[in-house]
A and B are shown apart, each in its own frame.
Chain A
């Protein structure tokens, strides 16, 4: 079946890089997404990658996709305290619905 898994917590120091990992099961996924959720807020689209790409860079964000291993990662360079949030990985299935991971809570310490 369709499933997306993430580790629950990540703690880094300000200025370091953060790497949030995600694995998924549906090999027919067309797009994979990263959403950010700050406390009390909705899901903010951060970035996405098409399934035939290996890498996408967008300012401080780098997405890496290993389609063979069904592994997706989000790297945040020069992590700031404002990056503290929950980060959700999601895959879009052929029908269009998003299947989410459980979210990784990123804590950035000064």
Chain B
């Protein structure tokens, strides 16, 4: 069964450094998402992306965050200047069709654990 893959599985970065988390969504999917889960807290929506632009973003997704689909297969999340509170598990997800056209569930990767020192 096709999978969403994320790399790296664990990223350790010094505070203030830039970090890029990578995702390869399922190949025929058109909608892409990033979520994060701070240890002991809920999984939180960060951003959705369709047709090469952001569809929706949460208030967490401030100017330090950006997303990109650089080459038609990868989908990346960049955090420009990391803070301690960015430490979390980051999940990428993708779905087959735009929202509202029937149920196209989101399929998740295994996540990248980001640790900021």
Instruction: List residues of chain A with CB under 8 Å of any chain B CB.
Output: 4, 30-31, 33, 35, 40-45, 48, 50, 88, 90, 92, 94-103
B75 in contact (CB, < 8 A)? no
Which residue of A4, A43, A48, A101 contacts B91 across the interface (Cβ within 8 Å)? A43
* Chain B residues with CB under 8 A of A33: 105
- Interchain CB contact under 8 A, B91 and A96: no
A40: chain B residues within 8 A (beta carbon): 110
A45 close to B107 (CB less than 8 A) = yes
Q: B25 in the interface, Cβ–Cβ < 8 Å?
A: no
Instruction: Please state if A95 and B56 are interface contacts (CB–CB under 8 Å).
Output: yes
Residue count of chain B within 8 Å CB distance of chain A: 28
A98 near B42 (CB under 8 angstroms)? no
**Nearest 7 pairs of A and B residues by beta carbon:** A96-B99, A42-B110, A43-B108, A100-B43, A97-B45, A42-B108, A102-B42
B11 at the A interface (CB under 8 A) = no
Contact yes or no, B105 A96, CB < 8 A: no
Task: For residue A5, give the distance in angstroms from its CB to the closest CB of chain B.
Answer: 10
Q: How many A-B residue pairs have CB under 8 A?
A: 66
The answer, yes or no, to whether B55 is at the interface (CB within 8 Å) is: yes
Is B87's CB within 8 Å of the partner chain A? no
Residues of B within 8 A of A98 (CB): 33, 35, 43, 45, 93, 106
Give CA–CA (A44, B35) in the complex, Å: 14
A42/B109 in contact, CB under 8 A: yes
The answer to whether A31 and B103 touch (CB under 8 A), given A97-B33, A100-B43, is yes
Minimum Cβ distance to chain A for residue B12 (Å): 17
Q: How far is the CA of A98 from the CA of B105 in the complex (A)?
A: 10
**What are 18 A-B residue pairs whose CB atoms fall within 8 Å in the complex?**
A4-B42, A31-B103, A33-B105, A40-B110, A42-B108, A42-B109, A44-B108, A45-B106, A45-B108, A94-B99, A96-B98, A96-B100, A97-B33, A98-B45, A98-B106, A100-B42, A101-B42, A103-B43
